[in-house]
Amino acid sequence: MLLAIDTSNKNSGIALIDKETTIVELIEWNTTYNHTPDLLPNIHKILSNSKLTFEDLQGISINIGPGQFSGLRVGLTTAKTISWSYNLPLVSSTSLEIEAYNHRVSKSLICPVIILNKLQIAWSMYNFHHDTMNELYETHIDNIDTFSNNIELIIDQSKFNDKDVIICGESIDGVISSSINNKYKVIDSSSTERIINLATIGLNKLNNNEIADATVIEPFYLKPPTITKPKK
C-alpha cells in the first residue's frame, strides 16, 4: 500500500493505492492558508478508515510542486518525517508531470498548465512514447497574456509542429485566451484526478525503484515566496 500526499494548492488531498493500482481510499479538503492543522489528522483518518497503520505502508508519494509555498513545504516535511520514522521509500512527482499523466494514451503534445496567480502561469510540454513520459520543454513561468504567442512559437520551431496539442490543468478554461481555445484542445482537470494520478505515478516509480533521496529533496519553487503580513 502506498500513501500519496498532495498539498500543492488549496484543494489538497491524500490517497491510498494498492499494488493492483486500485485507489483504496481518497480524502480531499480545502485549505486557504495553513495546511498544517489538516494534513496529519487526515492521514490518521485515511489509515483508520482502511484499518491500516504506518507499518502497513510500502512507500510515500509526494507532489513537490510547483504550487503554494507553504503547502509544498508542509507536505514534503510530513512525507519526509513519515519516510524516516518508518523506513519507507519516498517517491516524488511534479505538479505538471501529474497534470500531463491524464493524457498518457494520447499521441498529442501535452502542455500542462498551473495557475500561479491572476497574471502568471507555470507550464511545460510533454509527449508520451512507448509508455514513457518525455519532457520536451522544461517548466517555467509565463504571463497569461503572452502564453498563447509563446506556446505557438515554441511548437512551430520544434520537430513536433505537425502534432495536435492538448493544454490541460485545473480551472484553466476561463484563463486561457480564446485564440488558444480555437487552435488547440483545452481540457480542464480536477483535484481528484490530480491526487489519483499522483498515487498511480508514485506506485509506478516505486515499482521501478525510482526512489527520491529524502535527505536532499526540496520543494520545486519557481520563484521566491511573497511575504505578506499575518491576518489579524
CATH of the domain at 26: 3.30.420.40
In terms of domains, do 31 and 146 share one? no
64 is a domain residue: yes
What pLDDT score was predicted for residue 24? Answer: 97
- The cell 490543468 sits on which residue? 169
217 is a domain residue: no
Cell numbers found for residue 20: 493492483
Q: How do beta strands 59-63 and 23-30 pair? A: unpaired
Residue 112 forms beta bridges with which residues?
168
The amino acid that residue 15 corresponds to is A
- Cβ atoms of 203 and 1 within 8 Å: the answer is no
For residue 129, the enclosing domain spans 95-189
In terms of domains, do 65 and 132 share one? no
Peptide bond into 66 cis (omega under 30): yes
Instruction: State mean pLDDT over 55-66.
Output: 97
Cell numbers found for residue 60: 510515500
Which among 13, 19, 27, 20 has a CA at the least distance from the CA of 59? Answer: 19
163 is a domain residue: yes
Higher pLDDT, 152 or 29: 29
Q: Reply yes or no on whether the pLDDT at 189 is more than 90.
A: yes
Q: How many domains does the chain have?
A: 2
222 is a domain residue: no
126 is a domain residue: yes
- Cβ atoms of 111 and 99 within 8 Å: the answer is no
pLDDT digits (tens, 9 = 90+) for 127-137: 888 778 889 88
Entry pTM? 0.91
Instruction: State mean pLDDT over 46-68.
Output: 97
In terms of domains, do 152 and 111 share one? yes
